[in-house]
């Protein structure tokens, strides 16, 4: 099953504008929505936000009034699409419940992309951040329990995603220079790699924006602290993922790739959506995006004399991106790479860092005075006698990260303690 949006006919732009009531989508019912329908809504909202921001940035970097007009026309529609998608989220879902949804997206989207990434280095890039988002889900789930929310995290995730420690958030804080990876090149990379990267940058950027804006909504200082701490990791993740994009592309080439990516993802949503009402929205938006892609390709041809077919695959995209359980895969990544860190563009076990590496100084600075992501688990243990975990496939693959494990023997704890001792000498 493949899909080539360049060969499809879309909805003419002049027929795409909707009125306010058409945009004010009836939200899904939070009691019976499929967890992966929520995931698709959250992910596609992030995709539309990126479409809008990218178009604005392009407009600010071109003097061509013709291009500016075309960008403005298409952007108004992208904005409408964003409203229609994001307004599917119901008011009954609290900031924290939606947060659990965001982290489920981060886990199962990243895992799918990692599994389908043809490049071995880029696969490492996905697996590296996957374990960090996986850990965020666990910290927020414990917070949710502590905050006396009406529901448990597993009611949001539907137990399709496990909830337990990944690479502990406390150890994810690294020097900013160690978030910069090797970019791929459009000329030599597989189109799947290009689509994967645009997708994940959009999703992580939306997560970063969500925490930046909603992280101050809780009253409890611990909750506010946890949001700001994880928001800083999302900043790291946006830096990490955006650095794999080819930085040498023209604005128009980049626009074509964005539109192509939107087509692929709406088509993917259509293939997998169980809710017929929402499936119809994906189908409508796909029809719109096919036209946006045609317009972008036309601008590229007229301005740069480049045919989009010259860098897009003749057979289209081979398969849809799917939200689906990745439990065994995540466990495998934990087993292989839980103790990894990064040094510039490379990944390595944290125990291989030189003892005077900038990582330890950064850790010392930001973690001084208490770490919310640790405090939330400590408080859960203190109030409930145990942690909130959903380990549906058995004991945690890393013995020292089990609830009754010897946490001090986890490699990161050991190396951090050693660095602390050296500092005192």
Partner 1 sequence: MAGNAKNTLDKITDAIGGTAGKVGASMTNEAGDFVQSAAIGDLYEITAGKLALKRSRDETVRSLARKMVDDHTASTHHMMAALEMNETRGVEPPPQELDARRQTMIDHLEQAPDDTFDRTYLDQQALAHEETVSLMRNYSMSGDNPQLRSLALGTLPVVERHLEHVTRLRAEV
Q: Applying CB under 8 A, which residues contact partner 1?
A: 118-122, 124, 177, 181-185, 187-190, 246-248, 343-346
The terminus-to-terminus CA distance of the chain in angstroms comes to 62
Looking at the Cβ atoms of 50 and 246, the one nearer to partner 1 is 246
Looking at the Cβ atoms of 87 and 121, the one nearer to partner 1 is 121
Q: Which residues of 37-52 are buried (b: 16+ CB within 10 A; e: fewer)?
A: bbbbbbbbbbbbbbbb
Give least dist CB 339 to partner 1, A.
Answer: 19
Give least dist CB 204 to partner 1, A.
Answer: 20
Give least dist CB 121 to partner 1, A.
Answer: 4
Distance between CA atoms of residues 333 and 339, nearest Å: 11
Give least dist CB 174 to partner 1, A.
Answer: 14
Looking at the Cβ atoms of 122 and 252, the one nearer to partner 1 is 122
3-state secondary structure string, 327-347? Answer: HHHHHHHHHHHCCEEEECCEE
Cβ pair 171, 131 in contact under 8 A = no
Give least dist CB 289 to partner 1, A.
Answer: 29
Distance between CA atoms of residues 178 and 110, nearest Å: 20
Q: Which residues of 206-242 are buried (b: 16+ CB within 10 A; e: fewer)?
A: bbbbbbeebbeebeeebbebbbebbbbbbbbbbbbbb
Environment class of 32 (CB within 10 Å of its CB; exposed 0-12, middle 13-18, buried 19+):
exposed
DSSP code of residue 162: -
Looking at the Cβ atoms of 245 and 371, the one nearer to partner 1 is 245
Give least dist CB 310 to partner 1, A.
Answer: 15
Among 8, 356, 422, 380, CA closest to 226: 380
Distance between CA atoms of residues 164 and 161, nearest Å: 10
Give least dist CB 33 to partner 1, A.
Answer: 39
Looking at the Cβ atoms of 188 and 368, the one nearer to partner 1 is 188
Distance between CA atoms of residues 224 and 215, nearest Å: 6
Cβ pair 193, 125 in contact under 8 A = no
Give least dist CB 249 to partner 1, A.
Answer: 11
Establish how many alpha carbons lie within 13 A of residue 220's alpha carbon, considering only the half-sphere containing its beta carbon: 14
State the DSSP H helix or E strand holding residue 349, giving kind and residue range, or none if neither: strand 346-349
């Amino acid at each position: 099953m493949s899909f080539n949006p360049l060969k499809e006919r879309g909805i003419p732009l002049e027929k795409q504008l909707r009125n306010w009531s058409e945009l004010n989508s009836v939200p899904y019912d939070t009691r019976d929505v499929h967890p992966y329908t929520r995931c698709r809504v959250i992910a596609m909202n992030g995709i539309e936000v990126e479409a809008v921001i990218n178009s604005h940035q392009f407009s600010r970097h071109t003097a061509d009034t013709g291009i500016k007009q075309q960008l403005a026309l298409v952007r108004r529609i992208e904005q409408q699409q964003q409203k229609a998608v994001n307004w599917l989220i119901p008011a009954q879902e609290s900031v924290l419940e939606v947060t659990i949804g965001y982290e489920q997206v981060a886990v199962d989207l990243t895992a799918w992309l990692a599994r389908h990434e043809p490049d071995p280095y880029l696969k490492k890039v996905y697996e590296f951040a996957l374990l960090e988002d996986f850990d965020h889900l666990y910290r927020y789930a414990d917070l949710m329990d502590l905050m006396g929310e009406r529901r448990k995290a597993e009611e949001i995730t539907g137990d399709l995603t496990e909830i337990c420690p990944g690479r502990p958030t406390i150890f994810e804080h690294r020097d900013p220079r160690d978030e910069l990876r090797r970019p791929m090149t459009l000329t030599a990379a597989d189109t799947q790699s290009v689509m994967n990267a645009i997708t994940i940058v959009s999703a992580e950027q939306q997560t970063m924006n969500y925490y930046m804006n909603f992280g101050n909504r809780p009253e409890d200082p611990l909750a506010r602290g946890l949001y700001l701490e994880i928001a800083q990791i999302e900043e790291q993740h946006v830096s990490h993922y955006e650095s794999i994009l080819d930085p040498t592309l023209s604005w128009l080439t980049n626009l074509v790739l964005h539109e192509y990516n939107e087509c692929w993802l709406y088509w993917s949503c259509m293939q997998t959506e169980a809710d017929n009402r929402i499936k119809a929205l994906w189908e409508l938006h796909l029809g719109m995006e096919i036209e946006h892609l045609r317009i972008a390709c036309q601008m590229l041809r007229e301005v740069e004399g480049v045919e989009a077919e010259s860098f897009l695959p003749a057979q289209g995209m081979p398969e849809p991106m799917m939200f689906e359980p990745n439990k065994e895969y995540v466990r495998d990544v934990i087993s292989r790479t839980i103790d990894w860190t990064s040094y510039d563009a490379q990944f390595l076990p944290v125990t291989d860092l030189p003892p005077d590496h900038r990582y330890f100084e950064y850790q010392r600075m930001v973690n001084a005075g208490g770490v919310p992501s640790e405090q939330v688990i400590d408080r859960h243990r203190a109030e409930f006698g145990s942690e909130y975990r959903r380990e549906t496939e058995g004991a945690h693959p890393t013995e020292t990260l089990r609830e009754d494990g010897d946490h001090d023997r986890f490699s990161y704890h050991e190396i951090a303690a050693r660095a602390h001792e050296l500092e005192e000498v």
